[in-house]
Structure 1
Amino acid sequence: MSDTQRLWNDYAACWSAEPADRLAALGAVAVDEVAYRDPGTEVGSLTELAAYMAGFAQAFPGHGSASTRCWSTTTAPSPAGPSSAGRTRLRRPA
């Protein structure tokens, strides 16, 4: 499995992670100022994305990572420099 696929799988797993573990799991795969947008919302931080994921999990129990099959990630340069290597800003394709 490629590093990109592993990163994607880890991100997808965040959608169905236990609430107490979600923020830490997101921190392992995304920068603090993660950008996430879909037709119903737009968030700009790990905390906001974790809260959105929690609401999604409550509204659609058991459908967490299945919903990410049509999504992708884009890697963006980070102002934090090399310490953020291997992390990604997550965005829905245009």
Structure 2
Amino acid sequence: MTQYADPCLALVRPVQSLTPQGCQGCLLLGSPWVHLRLCLTRGHVGCCDSSPNKHARRHAAADAHPIVQSLKPGEEPVPGKRAPDPPASLPRCTPPPRA
């Protein structure tokens, strides 16, 4: 059996949310958000793509941190979720090849 190493898993670290009360950028701007995403590399909390400012995507693009986890209350966390459509500069998180 061939071992598969997803390059994105190397970016995942144990993190604490830096701003558990909400989106870091929106809190500074006084702007609303829809859902929150936690960066699993640094702990940055940003708003989702349905939010006006899309801070989670901006953080992923600026800092090359494509792995996020939802912080929606009542939603089961799903570690390893890749930010949708990351810029080409980010590692591509691909499923393992089929056996």
Rg larger for = 2
Question: By the TM > 0.5 criterion, same fold?
Answer: no
**TM-score normalised by structure 1 residue count:** 0.29
**TM-score normalised by structure 2 residue count:** 0.28
- Structure that is richer in helix per residue: 1
**Greater relative contact order: 1 or 2 (C-alpha under 8 angstroms, separation 6 or more)?**
1
